[in-house]
Amino acid sequence: MQKVIVILGQTAAGKSDLAVKIAKKINGEIISADSRQVYKNLNIGSGKITKKEMEGVPHHLLDVANPKIKFTVVKYQKLAISAMADIVKRGKTPIICGGTGFYIDAVTKGIIFPEVPPNIKLRKQLVTKSAITLFLTLKKLDPQRAKTIDAKNKVRLIRAVEIAKALGKVPKETEARLPFNFIKIGLYLPTAKLKNKIEKRLLTRIKMGMLNEAKKLHKQGLSWKRMEELGLEYRFMALYLQNKINKKEMLEKLNSEIHKYAKRQKTWFKRDKEITWFDASKLKTYVIINVL
């Protein structure tokens, strides 16, 4: 079975570097698994790899979407699968690299999503309702799904109602493993080191002109509201540029929010027992190569 290497882990763990090194050693091509790097012009703030850092290794699924329009897991899944097929056809090894756990699972576990595309009109209407109302609506439509859903999470409730309205009920979660042998490599840093790296990286990004990037995005028509929605760097830069917070608050908030995000990533990946973990601060590339 065709081998596909997956490099995952928390933000700032050093995944991109490792992916490039491995790609060069084994004649691979990289498929990014990052829900923000898919967008064009979200470069510094999303930590997108630069042309130079790619060292000639082809990267896929970067800059494939317009930031004004919401990208989705399903789009990612489709694009990633065809990228994998394409890479394999050319006799190379795909290397999936990124920190968006949901995207990675969509591909590696072959999650089958209900074929109900987002219904913007319906969502607009549902957003105005309270969580309790949404929950009761769902319960009427699909008592089974209501049993396990997080009754306080409006985003989840809205999607469930959306599916239930279209299909009558929410189909049972199913997976269909793709004919690939996914080898999952997890990269982690001890908490203190991670925190330190996040702080340093943030200052570097500011120096690199991250704020100008945000200003430019807004000039190009990206609304503040949408920018806030993009989270982390973009969210707090948007707040700062609107004078809703000052620079100090922006930096402080960002550090703690990025740290929280890293925690969420850790929680997500913890469930996946197929991952082999390595301490990024002690890692030698050849160790990984041997594992592969």
Partner RNA sequence: GCGUCGGUGGUAGAGUGGUCAAUUACAACAGACUGUAAAUCUGUCGCCUUCGGGCUACGAAGGUUCGAAUCCUUCCCGACGCA
- Enumerate the known binding-site residues for ATP: 9-16
C-beta separation of 254 from 45 below 8 A: no
Q: Which is nearer to RNA, 29 or 233 (CB)?
A: 233
Least distance between RNA and beta carbon 217 (Å): 13
109 binds RNA (CB under 7 A): no
249 binds RNA (CB under 7 A): no
Q: Which is nearer to RNA, 248 or 271 (CB)?
A: 271
148 binds RNA (CB under 7 A): yes
Q: Which is nearer to RNA, 28 or 45 (CB)?
A: 45
Report CA torsion sign: 80, 84, 90, 95.
positive
From the list 66, 114, 61, 100, the residue with the least C-alpha distance to 84 is 61
172 binds RNA (CB under 7 A): yes
Q: Which is nearer to RNA, 88 or 166 (CB)?
A: 166
Amino acid at site 253: K
Least distance between RNA and beta carbon 18 (Å): 17
Q: Which is nearer to RNA, 3 or 261 (CB)?
A: 261
Report CA Rg, the chain.
Answer: 20
234 binds RNA (CB under 7 A): yes
Among 26, 41, 68, 71, binds RNA (CB under 7 A): 71
Q: Which residues contact 233 (CB under 8 A, 6 or more apart)?
A: 45, 46, 205, 210, 254
C-alpha–C-alpha distance, residues 185 and 8, integer Å: 6
264 binds RNA (CB under 7 A): yes
244 binds RNA (CB under 7 A): no
117 binds RNA (CB under 7 A): yes
Pairing of strands 111-112, 174-175: antiparallel
Q: Which stretch binds RNA (CB under 7 A): 84-92, 132-140, 254-262, 284-292?
A: 254-262
Least distance between RNA and beta carbon 24 (Å): 24
Q: Which is nearer to RNA, 93 or 194 (CB)?
A: 194
Question: Which neighbouring-strand residues pair with 188?
Answer: 279
Q: Which residues contact 75 (CB under 8 A, 6 or more apart)?
A: 65
99 binds RNA (CB under 7 A): yes
Task: Write out the binding residues.
Answer: 9-16
Q: Which is nearer to RNA, 22 or 160 (CB)?
A: 160
Q: How many residues bind RNA (CB under 7 A)?
A: 65
Applying CB under 7 A, the residues found at the interface with RNA are 34-37, 42, 45-47, 70-75, 99-103, 111, 113-118, 123, 127, 145, 148-150, 152-156, 158-159, 163, 170-173, 191, 229-235, 256-257, 259-261, 263-268, 270-271
